[in-house]
Structure 1
Amino acid sequence: MTKFHIAVIGCGGMSKSWIEYALQREDTEIAALVDLRKESAAAMAERYGIQCGIYDDVRQAITESGANLVFDVTIPESHAAVATMAMELGCDVLGEKPMTVSMAEARRLVDLAEQKNRTYAIMQNRRYLTQIRAFRELVHTAGIGEIGFVNADFFLGPHFGGFRDAMASPLILDMAIHTFDQARLITGQDPVSVYCHEFNPAGSWYAGNAAAVCLFEYDNGGVFCYRGSWCAEGSPTSWESQWRVNGSQGTAIWDGASPPFAEVAVPQQEPAFTRTFERIEADLSWQGKQGHHGCLDEMFAALSEGRKPETNCTDNIKSMAMVYGALQSAKEGRKIQLAELM
């Protein structure tokens, strides 16, 4: 059995679920806790009763502890530096989203992971929910036909305070990658272009653009339409968005909270103005862990089996391209071919 010796980089609040997960596994040990503020790492060790080295330097932590796996739970601006250092020192890396803060850095990290034959996987916890797995299955097996029009609505009004309120593009840059990544999971397709209009609606408490409409095109002519706002007061959607996937023979629906269903056209002998439909309920039998722990399960299974995980950097960069393509489109006022970013 492979033994994972983990260096946890970043000991803020986000690291708790990662550490709790690792402590539940027999094949893992926390070999080092690292934070710019060593007292934060020491406090985390005391909180969970972890006996390990406490560091404020990534290189020293990895080399002295013998770590072979890094949890990167730092701020986004640090991801590229941490992942680069870890892979250069022979470690695989499991990191928080987003992979980096630019497409240039993302491409460089993907190249480095492939050169070093290392795994660099990104946390996309919203893929690992029973209902979204059921919805994906429904889209592909219920008989709705060829996907032509995918719609996701995301309308919430969280009053975070702090850095999000000051960001230039809080919705697209901080949150939309979840929905964009979910669209790729659900459809099994990657868009080829995007046109985006982002804006800041009346009543917004954000300094930057807190709302956006994005039109992504697929190579078969299909469209994914994303409508979102982070300053929408009243009648909120789920954090998972409200989904409608129209196919050539039916439609699949998921409101992000209730079990998904589909309505599929029933074959008819005679032409009719409107067709009748059969309702098909989703199969909710997926037994994986939910959220962060589900994603971590997949990451560790992939490492143990010698394969690339579902959210490996080579795949996740496609979700990153949707984010940065949308931002570029909004800035330049034109349709962006996503191949330009890849």
Structure 2
Amino acid sequence: MQPFRIAVIGCGSMSKAWIEYAQQREDAQIVAMVDIRKESASALAERYGIQCGIFDDVREAIEQTGANLVFDVTIPESHAAVTTTALELGCDVLGEKPMTTSMEQARRLVQSAERHGRTYAVMQNRRYLSQIRAFRHLVEHAGIGDIGFVNADFFLGPHFGGFRDAMESPLLLDMAIHTFDQARLITGKDPVSVYCHEFNPAGSWYAGNAAAICIFEYADGGVFCYRGSWCAEGAPTSWEAEWRVNGSGGTAIWDGTHAPFAEVLLPAAEQIDGRRFRRVEAELVWDGRSGHAGCLDEMFVALSEGRKPETVCTDNIKSMAMVYGALQSAKEGRKILLSDVV
């Protein structure tokens, strides 16, 4: 495969992790840096000692430098335009979450990637942690049986300030996709419907709804229940949420911080002295890197091997549908079929 010639689109603070990652790779070269404020692109290139083209136009940057890979690190409102242009010009695209700001635009991006035969993958860095990989392995192999009830609790009170404080749905729009995407990874299942109640609790410093309860149903009758608040003061959960997966033969637990474990029902003949369960400890054997680096590693390996990355747009749109289905349910006060959203 030809070397990766990268155009970095968006030169704000988020781009630093992407640039530092690219500089570690021997098969990658940053050939363009693009920002609506060219001085920002120029300053960042100088900071990292990068000799490349400086642009304020995506099309011009790609055409003049021969870039074949785009890092879309712009604001969500710009993702659709940046990614569409890059795909049309023959580039693969690796971008920050979310794909875009509406399901209609997300569908168009998926169609564009398929029409042009290019790869568009989305950053979901919270998939790439040794503990969540171990938890997924427990759910699948520890013997808890068929999954019937999945629960995730997310209670934090970060005082970010800025745009989040003014958002209509700060929790669901800005954060919940991480937990929803983690649920898909952990269970290997996609829900078919959602009912959501969204609200703004007492003491909230957000203008919009900063808490939600979502009930997602699976085709087999199982349920994923999400309880979250972004204005919860005291006793915070992990940013990875607290998880309980109940199966037909046991339960797997992960608090988002410590190693996961499971308790599995023993056969009747082995239930001695009232002991009905055996504890199964997770094996933290995943040797990939964490966070952004782990996700980017997988993306680049996939591109090199000619396969689709784990977080390719055709998969990631299912996590987006969970967010927008929940928002629609909250607004309309009814259960929403996710097939109608996707």
TM-score (normalised: structure 2): 0.98
Secondary structure of the residue aligned to 1:269 is helix
The one-letter code of the counterpart of 1:52 is C
Distance 2:275 2:316 in 1: 40
Distance 1:275 1:335 in 2: 41
Secondary structure of the residue aligned to 2:288 is coil
- Partner in structure 2 of residue 6 of structure 1: 6
- Partner in structure 2 of residue 241 of structure 1: 241
1:209-254 CA deviation, whole Å, 9 max, x = no partner? 0000000000000000000000000000000000000000000000
1:6-36 CA deviation, whole Å, 9 max, x = no partner? 0000000000000000000000000000000
Find out whether 1:75 has 2:67 as its counterpart. no
Distance 1:2 1:138 in 2: 39
Distance 2:44 2:250 in 1: 51
1:271 Cα deviation after fit: 9.2
- Is the contact made by 1:192 and 1:219 (CA closer than 8 Å) also made in structure 2? yes
- Partner in structure 2 of residue 280 of structure 1: 280
Distance 1:238 1:269 in 2: 39
- Partner in structure 1 of residue 255 of structure 2: 255
1:236-293 CA deviation, whole Å, 9 max, x = no partner? 0000000000000000000000000000001013999x86110000010100010000
- Is the contact made by 1:169 and 1:210 (CA closer than 8 Å) also made in structure 2? yes
- Partner in structure 2 of residue 132 of structure 1: 132
Q: 1:275 to 1:191 in 2, by over 3 A?
A: farther
1:177-209 CA deviation, whole Å, 9 max, x = no partner? 000000000000000000000000000000000
Distance 1:275 1:224 in 2: 29
Secondary structure of the residue aligned to 1:71 is strand
- Is the contact made by 1:262 and 1:279 (CA closer than 8 Å) also made in structure 2? yes
**Counterparts of 1:19-168 in structure 2 under 5 Å?**
19-168=19-168
Secondary structure of the residue aligned to 2:268 is coil
1:142 Cα deviation after fit: 0.2
Distance 2:81 2:256 in 1: 35
- Partner in structure 2 of residue 305 of structure 1: 305
- Is the contact made by 1:2 and 1:304 (CA closer than 8 Å) also made in structure 2? no
The one-letter code of the counterpart of 1:11 is C
Distance 1:15 1:289 in 2: 19
Distance 1:109 1:58 in 2: 16
Distance 1:270 1:48 in 2: 62
- Partner in structure 1 of residue 182 of structure 2: 182
Distance 1:271 1:233 in 2: 42
Distance 1:58 1:236 in 2: 41
Distance 2:175 2:303 in 1: 28
- Partner in structure 1 of residue 291 of structure 2: 291
The 10-residue stretch of structure 1 (317-326 or 262-271) with the greater mean CA deviation from structure 2: 262-271
Secondary structure of the residue aligned to 2:143 is coil
Distance 1:110 1:159 in 2: 35
Pairs aligned (count): 342
- Is the contact made by 1:194 and 1:326 (CA closer than 8 Å) also made in structure 2? yes
- Is the contact made by 1:83 and 1:93 (CA closer than 8 Å) also made in structure 2? yes
Secondary structure of the residue aligned to 1:334 is coil
Distance 1:3 1:268 in 2: 59
1:134-181 CA deviation, whole Å, 9 max, x = no partner? 000010000000000000000000000000000000000000000000
- Is the contact made by 1:265 and 1:275 (CA closer than 8 Å) also made in structure 2? no
- Partner in structure 2 of residue 335 of structure 1: 335
Secondary structure of the residue aligned to 1:195 is strand
Secondary structure of the residue aligned to 2:175 is helix
The one-letter code of the counterpart of 1:324 is Y
Distance 1:126 1:270 in 2: 38
Distance 2:35 2:256 in 1: 36
Give the root-mean-square deviation of aligned CA atoms.
1.3
1:2 Cα deviation after fit: 2.9
